[in-house]
C-alpha cells in the first residue's frame, strides 16, 4: 500500500453554517381531501372528529376521510369563521354573511336573521360554562342561544353597538369573567360591569383578533400589531423581537400544559415557561402566514395556514429531520458517527460533513480527503476518525489527514467496512476481500491469506460488513453468505445451512452473544452456531431487505430496511414490532446501507437518500387512549338501511339477510395504522381482525344477533366495542305456528285416514255379514 497524502488540516477551510431542525413532518392539503387551503378555524368535537373551517366550505375529518360541506350541499355561505359544539352535541358553524349552520348527525338546520339572529355576518361563536352559546356578528351584535331561544345578549350586558365594535373572539376564565376581543380594544365583563381597554392602556392596536387564557390568570391578546398579556388589569407585550413585536396575530390556543401558541403572519409564536420559540417554514411549517391553532385530545397541535392547508405538530416529537432545505450540504447520507468529543460526522455522496452545535463544514477531495463518496465511519481507540470511501481510506487525527490509495497496490479502492482490533490494527472490508493495516502499513500476506480462505468457503470475496463477536471472533457479512473467523478458522453460513438468503448486508452482535444477520430476505437469528429463527414481513417487518441493525442501551433493536424503520422488542419471547415510515415523520423510507448510528443518549441517527432523521425512542411514548369507534352505516343488499332502526333493535325478514356493517375508528395520531376487530354473536366464535372499515355477512339464518366492533391503535390499545342488536325472523314456513299447524294437520289427516279405514272396514264387515246371512237363508 502506498501513502499518497499527508496534510495538515485545522478545519479552517470554510465558515461554519448553522442549520435549524425540521420538527413538523405531517400536513393536510386539498390533495388529501381538505375542502380548501385557507384555514380560518379548527375544532375537535366530542366524538373525536376535527372540523376545518375555510373560506370555501368546511371539512369534517376522521383521520383518513373528509366529509366536505359547501354551498352546493347545505352551507349557508362559503366563508366559515368559527365552529363550536353545544352541550347537546350539535355542531354550530358560523358563516360570514350566512348565519349559523347547525349540524346534527348529518341533518342541517339554519339560524339566521330570519329566525332571531341579529346579523348574518357571524364573526365568532363561544360556549359559556353554563352552556349558553354566544354568537357575535358585525356591528357589535351579540346573540345568546339558550334552550333553543335566541336573545340580544349585547343589550343584556350593555355592550355597545356600531361598525367598530365587532367581536372577533371571546374567552371566559375560571372566575366567570368574560373577555371580548373587539375592533375597539378589549372589553371585560366582570360582576355584571363592562370595562374597555384600548391603546391608552397599553395595547399596540385596538383591532383585536384572538383571546384566551391559562389557569394561572394570564389572558393573552392577539392584535393587528402584536401579542399582549393581560394580568391583573395590566397590559404588557409578550414579545419584543423586532421581527415579531408588531406582528399581525390571529387565533391562539393555550395547551393543556400551559404552552401558548399563536398563529401570526410570520409563523407560530410559542411561549412556555416565559421562553419564546418561533416555528416557521424552516422547521417544516407549510406556510408562515397562519390563521388558526388547535390541540387535539392526544396533545397534537394543528396549525391552520392561509392557503397551504394544515401543519400537524407534536410538541413531544421524537423525530427531528435535516435536509437541504435547512442547510444540509448533501442529502444522500451513508454513514454516521458521533465522536467522543461530541462532534458528528456524516458520510455523504459528496464528502464528509462535520457538525458540532448545529453548525457544519464539509471535507471532500477538493480540500484534502481522498474521495467524496463516504461509505463507512469509525472512531479508533486513539480518537482518530477512520473514513472509508469509494476511493480509498483516510485517517483524520487532530487536524491531520492521512490518505491511503488502496488501488495503487492491491487493485481495490472501495471500503465498505472498518474495524479495529484490541492491538490497534485496522481491518478494512472491500469488494476484493480483507486488508489488514498494522502501524500504517498493509500486511499483504496476512490479508491475502484471510481473503483466500474466505473466498474458498463462500465462493466470493466481497465484504459488505464485519463485526467483532463477544468471544473475539470476527463476523463477516458478504455477497455470498456469512463467515465467522476465530482461531484462524472459518465457519460459513449460507442458504444451504440456515440463512434465508446468501446476500448478507449487515450483522449485529447482542450482549448475550446472539448474532442478528440482515439479509435481503429478512432478519436471521444465529444463536450457539445455529440459525434459530427468521423474522420477515410475515412477522411484521416493513420490508425484507435489511439495510442496517442497531441496538440501544435498553435492548431495543432498530432494524432499518429499504422501506422504513422497525423497532423490535422482546425478540427472545413474544416479539413486538413497531414500524416508522415517512408518513410517521422519517425524512425518507429508503434507509442507506450501514446508515444508522446510536449515540450516547440513545438517539438513533438515520441516514437516508433524502437527508438525516434523528429519532429519540425515549420520547416516543405510547398513546394509551384507544381510538373512538362508531358504526357509521348499515347496508342491506348494498342499499343503505336506517341506522336509527338498528339502534333501537331491528327486526328483519327472513330474506333480509345480506348485511354490510360500516364503521369508523378515529385515531388521529396514526390513522393509517388503525386496526379493527369484529364479530357477530351466533356466528363468529372469535374476534376477526382487519384493517377494512366494513364487514359483510351473507345468507344469515334466522335468529338473534349482536354485531360488535372495536378499534385499536398502533400501540395495541383497544376501545370498548360498539354494538348493534338485531333479529332475523324465520320464514313463515319455519315459524312455530306453521310447525304446529302442520303437525295438527298431519295428525288430523292421519286420524281421518284411520277413521276412514276403520269405517271402511266396518262397512265391509257388515256387507260380508249380510252376504253370509243371505247365503244361509
Residues 574-585: tens digit of each pLDDT: 789 999 999 999
For residue 541 the three cell numbers come to 417487518
> Do strands 374-379 and 359-363 pair parallel, antiparallel, or not at all (unpaired)?
unpaired
Give DSSP secondary structure letters for 354-385.
Answer: EEETTEEEEE-GGGT-S-S-EEEEEE-TTSPE
pLDDT tens for 164-198 read: 999 999 999 999 999 999 999 999 999 999 999 99
Given a contact cutoff of 8 angstroms between Cβ atoms, the answer to whether 251 and 223 are in contact is no
H or E element in which residue 169 lies = strand 167-172
Question: Please, what is the Cα angle at 330 between 324 and 336, to 5 degrees?
Answer: 115
pLDDT band at residue 291 using 50, 70 and 90 as cut-offs? very high
The pLDDT score that the predictor gives to residue 10 is 37
- Grid coordinates given for 642: 336506517
Q: What is the pLDDT of residues 525-548, one digit of tens each?
A: 999 999 999 999 999 999 999 999
Per-residue pLDDT band for 98 (boundaries 50, 70, 90) equals very high
Instruction: Round to the nearest angstrom and report the end-to-end CA distance of the chain.
Output: 148
Tell me the three state secondary structure of residue 382. Answer: coil
Nearest Cα to Cα of residue 718 among 609, 589, 646, 623: 623
Three-state DSSP class for residue 507 = strand
407 secondary structure, DSSP code: H
User: Cα–Cα distance between 124 and 82 in angstroms, integer?
Assistant: 5
Kind of pairing between the strands at 249-254 and 260-264: antiparallel
Beta strands across the sheet bearing 564-569:
546-551, 557-561, 564-569, 576-580
Q: What is the pTM of this model?
A: 0.86
Highest mean pLDDT, choosing among 286-290, 430-434, 440-444, 715-719: 286-290
Instruction: Transcribe 46-106 into DSSP letters.
Output: TTS-EEEEETTEEEEE-SS-EEEE-GGGT-SSS-EEEEEE-TTS-EEEEEBTTEEEEEETT
Query: Is pLDDT of 696 > 70?
Result: yes
Residue 733 has pLDDT above 60, yes or no: no
CA gyration radius, the chain: 37
What's phi and psi for 131, nearest 5 deg?
Answer: 75, 5
pLDDT at 738 over 80: no
pLDDT value of position 755: 79
pLDDT score at 712: 96
d(CA 55, CA 77): 9
Q: How confident is the model at residue 412 (pLDDT cuts 50, 70, 90)?
A: low
Grid cell listed for 699: 345468507
Q: Pick the range with the lowest mean pLDDT from 6-10, 372-376, 380-384, 489-493.
A: 6-10
CB atoms near residue 694 (< 10 Å): 15
Average pLDDT, the chain: 91
Which residue, among 184, 193, 197, 177, has the nearest Cα to 224 in the 3D structure? Answer: 184
The pLDDT, as a whole number, for residue 241 is: 73
Strands of the sheet containing 522-527, edge to edge, are 504-509, 515-519, 522-527, 530-535
- CA-based max dimension of the chain: 156
Please identify which residue in the block is written with the cell numbers 336573545. 151
Task: Name which residue leads in pLDDT, 443 or 129.
Answer: 129
Q: Is the dihedral of CA 545, 572, 604, 353 positive or negative?
A: negative
Quote the DSSP letter at residue 487: T
- Average pLDDT of span 435-443: 89
Residue 12, pLDDT > 90, answer no
Check if the beta carbon of residue 253 is closer than 8 Å to that of residue 261: yes
Distance, CA of 548 to CA of 172 (rounded, Å): 54
CA-nearest of 676, 628, 624 to 48 is 628
Ranges 239-243, 590-594, 721-725: which has the least confidence: 239-243
Percentage above 90 pLDDT, the chain: 73
Supply the pLDDT for residue 411.
Answer: 56
Whole-number pLDDT of residue 17: 47
> Does residue 548 contact residue 596 with C-beta atoms inside 8 Å?
yes
pLDDT of residue 645: 79
φ, ψ of residue 122 in degrees (nearest 5): -70, 135
What digits encode the pLDDT tens for the residues 37-95?
999 999 999 999 999 999 999 999 999 999 999 999 999 999 999 999 999 999 999 99
The answer to whether residue 761 scores a pLDDT higher than 80 is no
Beta-carbon neighbour count of residue 326 at 10 Å?
Answer: 18
Q: Contact 562/554 with Cβ under 8 angstroms?
A: no
Q: What is the pLDDT of residue 332?
A: 96
pLDDT of 466 higher than 90: no
Give the per-residue pLDDT at 775: 65
CA distance 659 to 727: 12
Residue 463 has pLDDT above 60, yes or no: yes
Q: Where are the alpha helices (DSSP H) in 115-189?
A: 153-157
- The alpha carbon dihedral of 410, 415, 416, 417 has a sign of positive
Taking the C-alpha atoms of residue 16 and residue 556, their distance in angstroms, rounded to an integer, is: 35
Beta carbons of 118 and 143 less than 8 angstroms apart = yes
With a pLDDT cut of 70, the percent of the chain lying above it is: 94
Give the span between the Cα atoms of 208 and 184, in whole angstroms. Answer: 8
Q: Are 332 and 601 in contact (CB under 8 A)?
A: no
Range name among 308-312, 551-555, 647-651 with the lowest pLDDT average: 647-651
686, 719 contact by CB (below 8 A): no
Amino acid at each position: 500500500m502506498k501513502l499518497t497524502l499527508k496534510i495538515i488540516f485545522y478545519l479552517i477551510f470554510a465558515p461554519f453554517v448553522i442549520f435549524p431542525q425540521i420538527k413538523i413532518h405531517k400536513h393536510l392539503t386539498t390533495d388529501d381531501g381538505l375542502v380548501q387551503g385557507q384555514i380560518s378555524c379548527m375544532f375537535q368535537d366530542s366524538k373525536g372528529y376535527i372540523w376545518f373551517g375555510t373560506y370555501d366550505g368546511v371539512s369534517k375529518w376522521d383521520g383518513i376521510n373528509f366529509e366536505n360541506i359547501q354551498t352546493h350541499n347545505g352551507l349557508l355561505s362559503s366563508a366559515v369563521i368559527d365552529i363550536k359544539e353545544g352541550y347537546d352535541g350539535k355542531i354550530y358553524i358560523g358563516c360570514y354573511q350566512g348565519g349559523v349552520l347547525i349540524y346534527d348527525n348529518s341533518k342541517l338546520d339554519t339560524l339566521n336573521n330570519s329566525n332571531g339572529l341579529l346579523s348574518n355576518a357571524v364573526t365568532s361563536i363561544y360556549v359559556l360554562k353554563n352552556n349558553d352559546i354566544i354568537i357575535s356578528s358585525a356591528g357589535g351584535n351579540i346573540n345568546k342561544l339558550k334552550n333553543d331561544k335566541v336573545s340580544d345578549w349585547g343589550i343584556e350586558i350593555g355592550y355597545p353597538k356600531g361598525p367598530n365594535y365587532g367581536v372577533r373572539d371571546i374567552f371566559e376564565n375560571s372566575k366567570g369573567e368574560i373577555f371580548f376581543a373587539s375592533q375597539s380594544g378589549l372589553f371585560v365583563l366582570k360582576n355584571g360591569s363592562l370595562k374597555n381597554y384600548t391603546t391608552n392602556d397599553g395595547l399596540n392596536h385596538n383591532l383585536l383578533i384572538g383571546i384566551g387564557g391559562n389557569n394561572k390568570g394570564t389572558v393573552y391578546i392577539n392584535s393587528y400589531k402584536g401579542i399582549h398579556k393581560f394580568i391583573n388589569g395590566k397590559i404588557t407585550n409578550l414579545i419584543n423581537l423586532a421581527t415579531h413585536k408588531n406582528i399581525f396575530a390571529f387565533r391562539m390556543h393555550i395547551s393543556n400544559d400551559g404552552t401558548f401558541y399563536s398563529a401570526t403572519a410570520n409563523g407560530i409564536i410559542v411561549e412556555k415557561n416565559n421562553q419564546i420559540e418561533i416555528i416557521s417554514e424552516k422547521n417544516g411549517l407549510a406556510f408562515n402566514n397562519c390563521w388558526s391553532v388547535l390541540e387535539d385530545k392526544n396533545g397534537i397541535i394543528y396549525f391552520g395556514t392561509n392557503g397551504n392547508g394544515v401543519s400537524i405538530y407534536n410538541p413531544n416529537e421524537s423525530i427531528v429531520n435535516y435536509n437541504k432545505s435547512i442547510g444540509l450540504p448533501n442529502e444522500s447520507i451513508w454513514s454516521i458517527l458521533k465522536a467522543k468529543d461530541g462532534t458528528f460526522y456524516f458520510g455523504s455522496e459528496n464528502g464528509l460533513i462535520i457538525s458540532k452545535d448545529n453548525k457544519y463544514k464539509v471535507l471532500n477531495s477538493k480540500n484534502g480527503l481522498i474521495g467524496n463518496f463516504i461509505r463507512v465511519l469509525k472512531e479508533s481507540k486513539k480518537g482518530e476518525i477512520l473514513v472509508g470511501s469509494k476511493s480509498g481510506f483516510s485517517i483524520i487525527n487532530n487536524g491531520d489527514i492521512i490518505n491511503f490509495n488502496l488501488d495503487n497496490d492491491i487493485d481495490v479502492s472501495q471500503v465498505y467496512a472498518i474495524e479495529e482490533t484490541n492491538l490497534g490494527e485496522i481491518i478494512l472490508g472491500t469488494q476484493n476481500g480483507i486488508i489488514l493495516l498494522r502501524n500504517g502499513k498493509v500486511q499483504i500476506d496476512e490479508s491475502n491469506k484471510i481473503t483466500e480462505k474466505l473466498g474458498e468457503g463462500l465462493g466470493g470475496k466481497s465484504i459488505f460488513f464485519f463485526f467483532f463477536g463477544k468471544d473475539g471472533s470476527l463476523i463477516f457479512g458478504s455477497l455470498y453468505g456469512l463467515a465467522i473467523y476465530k482461531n484462524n478458522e472459518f465457519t460459513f453460513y449460507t442458504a444451504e445451512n440456515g440463512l434465508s438468503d446468501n446476500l448478507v448486508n449487515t450483522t449485529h452482535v447482542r450482549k448475550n452473544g446472539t448474532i442478528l444477520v440482515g439479509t435481503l430476505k429478512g432478519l436471521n437469528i444465529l444463536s450457539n452456531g445455529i440459525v434459530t429463527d427468521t423474522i420477515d414481513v410475515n412477522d411484521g417487518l416493513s420490508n425484507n431487505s435489511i439495510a442496517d441493525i442497531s441496538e440501544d442501551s435498553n435492548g431495543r433493536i432498530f432494524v432499518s430496511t429499504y422501506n422504513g424503520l422497525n423497532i423490535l422488542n422482546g425478540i427472545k419471547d413474544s416479539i413486538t414490532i413497531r414500524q416508522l415510515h415517512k408518513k410517521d415523520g422519517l425524512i425518507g423510507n429508503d434507509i442507506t446501507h450501514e446508515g444508522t448510528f446510536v449515540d450516547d443518549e440513545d438517539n438513533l441517527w438515520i441516514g437516508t437518500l433524502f437527508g438525516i432523521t434523528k429519532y429519540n425512542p425515549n420520547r416516543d411514548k405510547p398513546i394509551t387512549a384507544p381510538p373512538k369507534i362508531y358504526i357509521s352505516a348499515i347496508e342491506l343488499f348494498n342499499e343503505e338501511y336506517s341506522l336509527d332502526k338498528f339502534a333501537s333493535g331491528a327486526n328483519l325478514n327472513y330474506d333480509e339477510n345480506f348485511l354490510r356493517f360500516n364503521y369508523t375508528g378515529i385515531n388521529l395520531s396514526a390513522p393509517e395504522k388503525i386496526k379493527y376487530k369484529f364479530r357477530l354473536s351466533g356466528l363468529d366464535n372469535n374476534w376477526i381482525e382487519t384493517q377494512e372499515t366494513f364487514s359483510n355477512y351473507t345468507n344469515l339464518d334466522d335468529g338473534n344477533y349482536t354485531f360488535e366492533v372495536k378499534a385499536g391503535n398502533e400501540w395495541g390499545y383497544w376501545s370498548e366495542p360498539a354494538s348493534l342488536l338485531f333479529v332475523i325472523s324465520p320464514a313463515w314456513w319455519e315459524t312455530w305456528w306453521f310447525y304446529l299447524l302442520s303437525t295438527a294437520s298431519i295428525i288430523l289427516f292421519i286420524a281421518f285416514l284411520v277413521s276412514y279405514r276403520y269405517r271402511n272396514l266396518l262397512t265391509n264387515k257388515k256387507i260380508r255379514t249380510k252376504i253370509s246371512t243371505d247365503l244361509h237363508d
